[in-house]
Amino acid sequence: MKVILAKKMGFCFGVEHAIETAETLLKENRNVYCLGHLIHNNQVVERLSGNGLKVVDELSQVRSAEKQTLTPEQVNVLIRSHGCRPELLEEVRQCGYNLVDATCVLVRRVQNLVSELYEQGYQVIVVGDPDHPEVRGVVGYAPQVTVVAGVADLDKAPARGKVAVVSQTTHSAEDFGQVVGQLAMRSYEEMKIVNTICKETARRQASAVELCSIVDVMFVLGSRHSANTGELAELCRRHGVKTYHLQGWNEFKPEYVEGKQTAGVTAGASTPDWLIKEFTAKLEEL
Ligand code: SF4
């Protein structure tokens, strides 16, 4: 089978930084707790857990686990690349734990923008998935923020006044454009738009679209919890090519390539290289 790889895919610098930060702490034999999965990829999280990373959902779990044996300064609490609400950072500090913040700089930019725009009197709209950890963190940076998942969700947006629109970093540029276009038809006193879609995400999307016109089938590799991987798969489908979002070769079925000559492969920003290489090699053998 002929396989063509997307020019841009796989780990982004934000994910690489988060993994390197965790690995450095673990090499020093430090006690490291991560609030939630460090990145949206089970294989990577399992590998880091095997090296000692403790994944917890709540800060209270760190307290009860460490109370007996360690002083707070010996406990490292790692904040993942998606970031978190500011209150959580404050709580970690107040507990006396060592805060290791691996929030991606581009997510940090959205957090700061939300806070600044609110201070400047804008009603802030975030275009994104309200259940995504990045968005759940970002909304904590102003007392009042509206999250709009897409054009079907626009009745939630303010009807008048001054609005400012930003995006979840991994949201699809097409969707963001549609939401902004619909909002522009309303008679706001002022509308400020800041395109906060991460360029790494945008480049991966553009490379995937490039492939759609020259392959018979697309494989998008990455966790089903990964927003940017899901967006890549949706984008490929919208561009008319049969697309499979798979977490690895174990989910592949021969029927996916029956009668197909050329397959395209792309992967989300949290998909490790080894997984892409393994999948591609096996596909080429067919
Ligand atoms: S996808 Fe972009 S915003 Fe998200 S972690 Fe990677 S570089 Fe940062």
Does domain 2-10+200-285 sit in CATH 3.40.1010.20? Answer: yes
Residue with CA closest to ligand 1 atom 5: 14
Residue with CA closest to ligand 1 atom 2: 198
Tens digit of each residue's pLDDT (9 = 90 or more) over 13-38: 999 999 999 999 999 878 899 998 89
Tens digit of each residue's pLDDT (9 = 90 or more) over 174-184: 899 999 999 99
Q: Give the residue from 118, 120, 114, 82 showing the smallest Cα distance to 101.
A: 82
pLDDT, residue 68, reads 62
Matching fold, domains 2-10+200-285 and 106-197: yes
Q: Token digits for 142?
A: 């102003």
pTM: 0.88
CA distance 200 to 133: 19
CATH class of 106-197: alpha beta
Catalytic sites, residue numbers: 134
Region label for 208, one of left (φ > 0), alpha (ψ between -120 and 50) or beta (otherwise): alpha
**What residues flank ligand 1, with Cβ below 6 Å?**
12-15, 81, 104, 106-107, 169-170, 198, 200-201, 228, 269
Does the pLDDT of residue 67 top 70, yes or no? no
**Could you tell me the residue ranges of all domains in the chain?**
2-10+200-285, 13-104, 106-197
13-104 CATH pick, 3.55.50.30, 1.10.1740.110, 3.40.190.10, 3.40.50.11270: 3.40.50.11270
